[in-house]
Structure 1
Amino acid sequence: MTQRLDIETFKTVVASTPLVSIDLIVRNNANQVLLGYRTNRPALGYWFVPGGRICKDETFNDAFQRLTHIELGEKIDIGQAEFIGPYQHLYQDNFSGTTFSTHYVVLGYQLSIDLELSELPQEQHNNYKWWDIEELLNCHQVHRNTKAYFSDSYK
């Protein structure tokens, strides 16, 4: 069973250590990528792939199932995805403001699934869109950490 830290303890953790997370590179049958418009920090106001932190004592598969349920609306087993590699995301702000930075060590996983955009959860993103790769690479509102999954020049 995963546990959430109280907000003050979590602030100390974010200010002091890297967080480990999973990002979901979701492709549909047209090979477009799912991005959501972020409603919270970090990456507030940018288009970004779904994903989230791995909690303490949570296995990769348990985290993957929890995150796909929260972010995509259905539990998906990690065995249905392809690991595409580790990434690092560095932000000048954090979930609570701008007084300290956020550092993520991200495990990128790619999966193919067709989803109905209107049925996706709204907790982390208030809008969703399927993007062609070329389109997202050329859009200034797509965060550079998302672009890194599709172009070596953004890593």
Structure 2
Amino acid sequence: MTQRLDTELFKSVVANTPLISVDLIVRNPQGQILLGQRVNRPAQGYWFVPGGRVRKDELLANAFTRLVNEELGLISCNMQNALFLGPFEHFYADNFSGDDFSTHYVVLGYQLDIDALPAQLPHEQHHSYRWFPVDELLNSSDVHFHTKQYFQNNK
């Protein structure tokens, strides 16, 4: 089983290396996109897609399944149920700790078409959720630039 790093070691990793993550672009039957308002840095306060980091020694398929469960409360969804949108790069001037260094993610974007989600979504990373029409999220100053990238023709 993979584990989270302790805070001081993770600070060193973030300060010195890119992180690999999976973002979940969740689309309902009406074509709306699920966004959560971020609790933590980076991108704190912005509306953002669910997702998270791949851990050391964790197979990508296992990370995907874990993140779908942790971020969406879904148990039986795997990578074969998703459309791979490609790699993206996210650069942030800040980091989770608030210390003076940047964060760099190499993100693998996956689109999930979902008919229904649990009534109560997890709140560790997002304190509220809502469905956004694509044109609304592209024009909102409260939706983070990196989320908008998934819906623009250029990466």
TM-score norm. by structure 1 comes to 0.96
Q: How does 1:66-145 map to 2 (within 5 A)?
A: 66-75=66-75, 76-116=77-117, 118-145=119-146
* Identity percentage of aligned residues: 60
Residues 87, 93 of structure 1: CA spacing in aligned structure 2 closer, same or farther, 3 A cutoff?
Answer: same
- Cα distance, 1:115 vs structure 2: 3.2
How far apart, CA to CA, are the structure 2 residues paired with 1:114 and 1:125? Answer: 21
How far apart, CA to CA, are the structure 2 residues paired with 1:118 and 1:49? Answer: 18
AA in 2 matched with 1:9:
L
- Cα distance, 1:70 vs structure 2: 0.4
AA in 1 matched with 2:111:
Q
Residues 8, 130 of structure 1: CA spacing in aligned structure 2 closer, same or farther, 3 A cutoff?
Answer: same
SS of 2:151's partner is coil
CA contact under 8 A between 1:19 and 1:103: conserved in structure 2? yes
TM-score norm. by structure 2 comes to 0.96
How far apart, CA to CA, are the structure 2 residues paired with 1:38 and 1:98? Answer: 18
AA in 1 matched with 2:72:
L
Unpaired runs of at least 5, structure 2: none
Superposition misfits of 4+ residues, deviation over 4 angstroms: none
CA contact under 8 A between 1:83 and 1:110: conserved in structure 2? yes
- Cα distance, 1:60 vs structure 2: 1.0
SS of 1:152's partner is coil
Q: CA RMSD in A?
A: 1.2
Give the corresponding residue for 1:26: 26
How many residue pairs were aligned? 154
CA contact under 8 A between 2:73 and 2:118: conserved in structure 1? no
